[in-house]
A and B are shown apart, each in its own frame.
Chain A
Amino acid sequence: MLGVAVSAAMLLDMVMLSTGMRVSLRNLLLSRGFQLRLAPKGTLPFDTDATIPDASNVIRVLHTIPDITAISPVLGGQLHISIGSRTITATALGVDPAVQGDYEITEGHTPTAPNELVASDDFLRASGAKIGDTLSAASGYDPQLRSFTGRRTLILVGRAHFLYMASEQRAVAVPIATLQQMRGNAARDRASLFMIRARDGADVDAALKHIQAALPTVTAVSTETAMRQVDERLSYFRQLAFILGAVSLGVGFLLVTTLVTVSVNERLGEIVVMRAIGVARSRVVLQIVIEGVVIMFVGTIAGLGLGLATARYLNSILAAFPGLPAAIDFFLFEPRDAWGALGLLTVAGILAGIYPSWRGASLPIAITLREEAVG
C-alpha cells in the first residue's frame, strides 16, 4: 500500500510540475491586467540591462493605438541606500505610480511626490527603516572616486509586496522620473519595459500587430506570446514530468496487479467455491476488480497527502532559485489535477485488477479444488 501511495504521490507531483510553472507564471503576468509588454529589441522583459530610448514618444505612440487603456513604463536599476553607517543595495523600479503593475501597497501609500519611495519587507527588515524615515539614496557608485553618484534624499512612504521579485530580494520603487534623474544621462527618457493594458474584450493580437507596426524598434509580446516562449523553454520540464508521471503510473499499475494477483492466489479456494455455489463469473471478476480499485484508491488518498507535502517541500527549495519571482510555483496544486491523477489511478486500478480477476474467475473449479485439497 505504501508503494501505491508513493506512486500516487509521484504522479500527482509530476502532474503539478508539468503545469505549475506555466499556470503560476500566466497568473502572475495577468495579475494586474496587463496583457502586452514592450521590451528592448530582441529581449524579453528584464532579460538584459538594455533600455528603450525616447520613452515619452513611445507612450505618445501607444496612446494612438485603439483599445489601449493604460501604459505603465518601468525603469529598472539599483539604489544604494545609506542607513546610519550601513549601505543597503536594493533593486529599484522607477514606475508611474498611477498605473504601475509591479507592486501592491500593504502599508502606507504609493509614492506620488518625486522624493517618495516604497520598499519591500525584505528591504525594511534588512535596513531597519520605518515608514516616514528620510533616507539617503544613490543610483550608482564610482569606484575611482570611491563615492556614490546620483544621490538624492527620499522619504519612505509605504511598504509594498513586489509581484515579480524573488523571495528575499530587497526592492524599492520610486516615480520613474526620479530614477531617470538619479541615473543621469544614461537613463534620461528611457524605460526598461512598458506594460500595456487593453480594454476588456479587445483583440489583443490585433493591438499587438498595431504596436509592432508602429514601433518596429522594440519587441512587443502579448501574454500569450510570452507563454508560448515560456512553453518552449519549459518543454524539458514537461517532458521530464510526463516521463516520470508515466513511470509512476506504470509502477502503481504493476504494484496493484501484483497485490491483486497475490490476493487471488491466496484465495483460490474461496474464489472457486463462490463459483461452485453459483456466483456468476462476472460477479467474481467485479468483486476482485473492486478490490484493486480500493487498493489504488486508498493508496491514492494517502499519496495525495504525501504528494502535496513533497511538492511543498520541493517548491520551497526551488523558490529560492536566484532571480525567480517568488510568486512562481514549480508545483501548483489545482483540484483539477488532483482529480485527473485520481482518475488515472482509478483507471489503472481497474485495469490492474482485470487480468488477475479474470484468471481467478476462470479457474476450472474441480481441478482447483483438487489442487487446493492436495496443497
Chain B
Amino acid sequence: MSSVHQPQTLAEEALAAGRPGVATSFRFHRPRGPICGRGHCFACEVETSAGRVLACQTLATGTQPRRRRLRRPLGRIAERWPPWFYERRFLRTEAMRRASLGVLRRASGAGRLATGFTPVAPRAFAEVEAETVVVGAAAPEEDALVVDLAAGNLALGVYPGRVLGALHEGRLLAIRFERLVIAAGAYERLPPIAGNDLPGVVGLAAAARYAAAGALPPGTRIAVWGPRRAIAACEELAARHDLSLVWSDTRPPHALSGRGRLERLHADVEIRCDLFVTGVSQPAIELAMQAGAQVSLTDDGLPILAVTATPDWLSMRGGAAARSSEVPAVAAHDDAFACLCEDVRVRDLRMCVAGGFDQPELVKRRTGAMTGPCQGKLCAAAVLTVLREAGVEAAPTTARPLARPATLGELAAHA
C-alpha cells in the first residue's frame, strides 16, 4: 500500500523527483540534501526569492530555490587545502593579501541577505515562574509548562539562576523554574565513512516522515545502518510504503558514493541505493550542558555524547537520556565529513591534532567544526571521537545558547 499523500515541502518534492541535492555546502560547495527533516541540521538551507529557508520546513508552492552550482570548481580547489589554508606563506605581499581577503569574503556558499524588509514589531519580554518546565514532547505532567517545538515554541537556552529562555506564544520568556525536564529527543549520528554527506543520507525519523508524505516513490531502494530496532523500524517502513530494503546492518558500509547524490553503497559488495538511513542517535544534550550537566563520550560501541550526571533539579527523558549508540565502533575514514555546516573532514581534524591543536576548544576554532548553524548537534561526538583516537580524552566545548537558531526578527524584544 503506498501513500496517497502528495509531497508538500521543497525537500519532499526534491526527494520525490530523485534530486535530493537541494542545497550547497559552505566551504566546498558540495551538493547537500535534507538529513533531519526537522530543521536542526541546516544541511538543506536554500536561497529563495523570499530569503533563505530550510527546504524541509518550507512549502514548495510558490517558492523557487536558487543554487549557485557554478561555484563547485572553486570548492574542488578548496578541498585540497586544510581549513587553515590561509595561514602560512599564502600570498606574500600585503597588497596581494588584501586582494585575496576580498575574494575570500565572496567565495563561500553562504546565501545572500534579503533585499527587502518588513518592519518587525518587537515582542513583549516577560519573566514568569513555573514549578516544572518540560522541553519537548514528554508524557504530560500536571501543571508543567511545556516548551515544545511541535507547538511552535522554541527553547533558546538555560541561563544562570534556573532560567529557561524561550520564544513562547509570541513572547520572549524568561521562565524561572524549580524543575526542568528535557525530552528534546535525539539527532542523527552520521556514519564515519566516505560519502556520508551525500544527498540521500537521512535520519530515521526523516525517512519515516518522507515516506508518509509520499516523497519516496514505490520501489525506492533504501539501506539502513543502526541498532536492531532501527532496522526493524525500517523493515516495517519499507513494507508499508512499498520501498525496497536493499541493505541493513549495525556496522556501516565501507563507503557511500554517487554523483551529486547517493547512488551506491559499498559494503562487501556494491549495492545501488537511493536512500541511506542512519538509525544511530545522538541525544539532544545541549540544554542539559547549559544547565551544568556532565556530558561525556560513551565508551561502548560507536561513541556518542551522553549525559552522565545532572543537577538534582534536571531530568532527562526519552531519546535525550540515551546512554549508548547501540552499534559497534568503527574507525573513522579520512574522507568522512565530521562537521557538515563548515565542511570539516576527519582528515582535517587529524591534521589539526597532529599540528598540536589537540583540545576540543582549539580544534573548534582552528577548523570551524561545531561553529555552524547546528552548533555541533550532528558533529560534536564525531569530533571528540577523532580526538580520542589521537589519545586525547576531553570534555566537549562550552555549551552556550542558542539551542536552535532563531532570526533577529523573532528575537527582537523589549528586554
The yes or no verdict on A and B being binding partners is no
Q: Which residues of B contact A (CB under 8 A)?
A: none
